[in-house]
Amino acid sequence: MDLPVTIAIIAITCLASFPAFSNEKLKDDLLFWPYQIKKRNQFYRFITGGFLHADTVHLIFNMISLWSFGAALEKFLFPKLFGTMSIMLYIVLYLTGIVVACIPDYFKYKDQYGYRALGASGAVSAIVFAAIIIEPTSTLRFLFIPFDIPAYIFGLIFLGLSAYLARKGQGNVGHNAHFWGGIWGIVFTWLAARSFAHKDLFKDFLEKVF
């Protein structure tokens, strides 16, 4: 089977999300809830919240994004850098992406009972930006934009917009998770490349872009 890890993550996420669509207790027991983490030491919520989604549209959007970038990362980009360690590092990146993307919101909302969040956005952003830091000049195309965009341009726009919207604080989208997940994808991949592949991806990035 091609892309077993990406497929497994998508399958697990769907299996966790679908029952929670119609079961509020299940959702409340597993989603990211900073207040309950602090008061009841329910640290598992840092992970389980990343496998739940608010509705079908939320789930589909995240899983399509994961498939699009995770496929390239798992099958080509990580193996090229890390060889036999690539699968392990891919899994570690995804799981730590869930956690790291939540940390800023934990400290921001740990005393607010009403704040709750869910979704794989932080982990998916980590996967997206891991691919971008490895191949910054690859091109992306979206249905609503009729021309190719260099990956690094998309990344800069995405991070800037996420930071702006997070600061503005409107809507139900986890812009903080998008931003910090993306930053973690860059940092993790750079550290892993320095440690295991003896490559400086920031130097490679500058050489490719400029």
Domain residue limits at 119:
4-209
Q: CB neighbours of 13 closer than 8 A, spacing ≥ 6?
A: 51, 53, 59, 62, 63, 120
Provide the CB-side half-sphere exposure for 181 (13 A, CA).
27
Lowest-pLDDT choice from 44-53, 96-105, 128-137, 139-148? 139-148
Lowest-pLDDT choice from 67-76, 131-140, 173-182? 173-182
pLDDT in tens, 143-193: 666 788 999 999 999 999 999 988 886 555 688 999 999 999 999 999 999
Percentage of the chain lying above the pLDDT 90 cut:
89
Domain count, the chain: 1
Domain CATH code at residue 145: 1.20.1540.10
Residue 92 has pLDDT above 90, yes or no: yes
Extract the tokens encoding 32.
């990211």
pLDDT (0 to 100) of residue 147: 80
Whether the full predicted model's pTM is greater than 0.85, yes or no, is: yes
Mean pLDDT rounded to a whole number for the chain? 93
Only one residue has tokens 């989603």, namely 31
